[in-house]
Amino acid sequence: MHEMLNYIDGKWVHSRTGKTNENRNPADDSEVVGTFQASSEEDVDAAVDAARRAYRSWRLVPAPRRAEYLYALGAILKERKEQYAKDMTREMGKVIAETRGDVQEGIDTAYLAGGEGRRLFGDAVPCELPNKAGWSERHPIGVAGLITPWNFPMAIPTWKLFPALVCGNTAVIKPASDTPLSVVNLVKACEDAGIPPGVVNLVTGDGRSVGNRIVGHPDVRVISFTGSSQVGRRLGEACGKSLKRVSLELGGKNAQIVMEDADLDLALEGVLWGAFGTCGQRCTATSRLILHKPIKGRFLEMLVERVKTLKLGNGLDESVDVGPLVSKAQRETVHEYVEIGKKDGARLVYGGEPYTRGECEKGWFYMPTIFDGVTRSMRIAREEIFGPVLSVLEADNLEDAVETLNDTDYGLSSSIYTRDVNKAFRAIRDIEAGITYVNGPTIGAEVQLPFGGVKDTGNGHREASHTVLDIFTEWKSVYVDYSGKLQRAQIDTESQE
């Protein structure tokens, strides 16, 4: 059993509490993946102080040079991809193909963010007065507090850390308590890439001691959080009191529409992947399936038959389709929602119970579950479950389908399957979501496009793409008057006519 340490000011150190927490394999709860520091507010203060001091010099490193560290990081992650993927499967549970993809997303983000080191574009614009120049440029903010989730334990930390670094910020990271090992691996890669001491700091522990202190620390200038909408509201309120910038990437209740003219075989593959990939533990997971009435019965039969063939088990087995839920508590939450669905009158078509056969008896597995007869008002159609539970609703036509899709407090991802280009473009226009796929599932975002949503899914910021730079930079407008005299904008322009 290996004890993992915090990383503060370029050194691996024990928490001042002297306490640790165990991290267990959700596919086999008897296996301890490692022990991690149960940190305190004092540990956070030490990390923030190191980041604050490192910021003084890091912000002055030319952005193209900062980018070189990210290119080195990308190469290290590529070299260690298989090792880090296996570690991730052991601590989080999702199948090895998906954890390889998780690390790959980190690699992609390293190169994308590195490329911005020679860009970080502003605007050069003409001024209204003669012999005067004007432009805008990005400047770093300071210490960034990064609070990351357990379902993408390497990809999402890189979404936050790499853009923050290339913009000239320093960082303190708090990983999810269920998946700290992947962030330890990421920070080791940062160390091996030669990133200077204090620029990247890692503090493990719970939200009450570590997360709240990061959010409330006066020297942390920007917060980037991914998690539930409930917690996001509290963080937004806390940051609002000090006018601290905060980026919130929150929940989703995503839907896939299948129209009568769709390629049903393709739509079937999409919903299987969207609903049951990562055991439904994605903010972009397909938790609602909206079927056009003429094809509903046939498609539902096809879906149930395919779901029956999905293999559950340890994600390190290449033949496994669905791994475990991340914890016992998460499995209990999922099962509570299944009971709620039955009580509210939805018809359980398949699944609906923990899966404990064979080796799965040692882990937190749950059967892929399908409900039919779901209405918009039911809780299983409205609340984020974060598990392998799919609610099937029906629609009379495209307008009804889009209205049903939009009838939620969330607005992250969406999908429509149709061969009709006119229907596709109307759906793109009318769906209220940050992401819309046509003839693809609700999961599968790529790092070169903005990621985020509307309504209760966030507070307007977007991760990935160049849009993430707006989270981690301040705009400065610059005016240079080389006329040699006082020129008054909006006033002296009349004298120039």
> Where in the sequence numbering do the catalytic residues fall?
249, 283
- Beta strand 389-395 with 286-292 is parallel
Is residue 299 within 8 Å of 258, Cβ to Cβ?
yes
For residue 451, give the DSSP letter: B
How far separated are the first and last CA of the chain, in Å rounded?
79
Q: The tokens of 335 are what?
A: 């099962």
Report helix angle 264-276 to 293-307, nearest 10.
60
Please name the residues in contact with 43: beta carbons below 8 A apart, sequence gap of 6 or more. 6, 8, 15, 16, 17, 37, 203, 205, 210
Distance CA 136, CA 122 (A): 5
**Residue found by looking up tokens 């593959």 in the block:** 269
Is residue 84 within 8 Å of 103, Cβ to Cβ?
yes
Please name the residues in contact with 306: beta carbons below 8 A apart, sequence gap of 6 or more. 268, 272
Distance CA 320, CA 5 (A): 33
**Burial class of 9 by CB neighbour count within 10 A (0 to 12, 13 to 18, 19+):** middle
**Which residue, among 36, 249, 44, has the nearest Cα to 160 in the 3D structure?**
249
Is residue 256 within 8 Å of 286, Cβ to Cβ?
yes
Distance CA 396, CA 259 (A): 10
Please name the residues in contact with 409: beta carbons below 8 A apart, sequence gap of 6 or more. 229, 253, 382, 455, 456
> What is the dihedral angle through the alpha carbons of 396, 261, 253, 350, rounded to the nearest 10 degrees?
90
**Residue found by looking up tokens 């029906």 in the block:** 394
